[in-house]
Amino acid sequence: MEAHNRGRTVSNVGGFQSSHIAVSQHPILSELISLVQAPFAGYVYKTRRAQSPPGLSASDLYVSCQPEHLWVNVNRPDHHNQLHDHGPALLSRAASCIYYPYQESTTAPTARVRFYDAGRCVEASPHPGMLLLFPTSLPHEVDPVWPGGSPRLSVAFNLFVRWLDKPIMNACLAGNVEEVKQLLSSGVDVDEAEAALGFRPLHLAAEAGNVDVVDMLIKSGADPFAVTIEGWCALGLAAAQGHIKVVKRVAGLHKAPLNRESVEAALSEDVDLRRGFGGRQGALAVAGERGHAEVVRFLAGDTSAGQAWLASHENSTSARQTDWKPGDT
């Protein structure tokens, strides 16, 4: 893992913290996100029940999650993570998650994690298979690994809530082309948005990378320029997840290809995830921030700024040849 990822220093003192890893390009990570769905739904209903769309209850579990940033931490003896958080709470950014994969051998207890809230401290002693869900803004720190102990491996990521309050929302997220076709034939509004975040069927299909559903929705009259309450359009959502097929399908409906100045501005932008991303320039900015090389190559074209970005990120873990699985260090 460390050989294929440039890494970064954020809260880690020693050890290794990867740059963003594209979940969609690693089946094992997609499986992990799928396994998180049920506990995430329970967490969301406990913490955000007041924001749920009308008519939904905890028993419905009509809620899904999409990963934002995902990164891997490897701490060896005396390495630790100083006090930090995972970003401000947003309308759709509902939780942070830390997962501790099973490792072949562990020779010492895993370093404790301490969470701080309103003067209180809550400790957790991680063990293989443990999943921690907590608010993204909650400060926390990790003790050093004991001398002689095994490396501590963890996978961390932020999760966005997606309310699925209608059958077509579920079908679009799941990529069920036949069900979407039947629902549209029965008179379901192709552009009806849910009330909490303003997501429409096309937004969910694009974010999930379901290009066949995206194509059907657009041909059925879905508005490709519609934005969510936070400002995300279908193109920006697809670019954020690295779904190149959807990006290619939707980008042509937007303005002409970006010029050199727009590409430079997008790839040098300090991405503020408190807002959404619409249009080609916004999609390029978020794709660049998350290291999605294929999307950047397509949207930036042959501009010098695009070529420079690609050259500096050629070893990014968003490249498909990187084969990583939990347990690799």
| Mean predicted confidence (pLDDT) in 53-63 | 58
Provide, rounded to the nearest whole percent, the portion of the chain with pLDDT above 90.
Answer: 38
Is there a contact between 87 and 93 (Cβ–Cβ < 8 Å)? yes
Residue 174 pLDDT > 60: yes
CA-wise closest residue to 133 among 152, 157, 101, 161: 157
Residue 122 pLDDT > 70: yes
For the chain, list the domains and their CATH numbers.
12-162 (2.60.120.620), 166-312 (1.25.40.20)
236-276 residue pLDDT tens:
999 988 899 999 999 988 877 888 888 888 888 666 666 67
**From CA 236, how far away is CA 278, in angstroms rounded?**
5
Q: pTM of the prediction?
A: 0.83
Structure token pair of residue 129: 């298979």
Question: Would you state the pLDDT for residue 3?
Answer: 58
User: Which range (109-113, 217-221, 256-260, 316-320) has the least confidence?
Assistant: 316-320
Which H or E element spans position 118?
A: none
| Mean predicted confidence (pLDDT) in 194-212 | 93
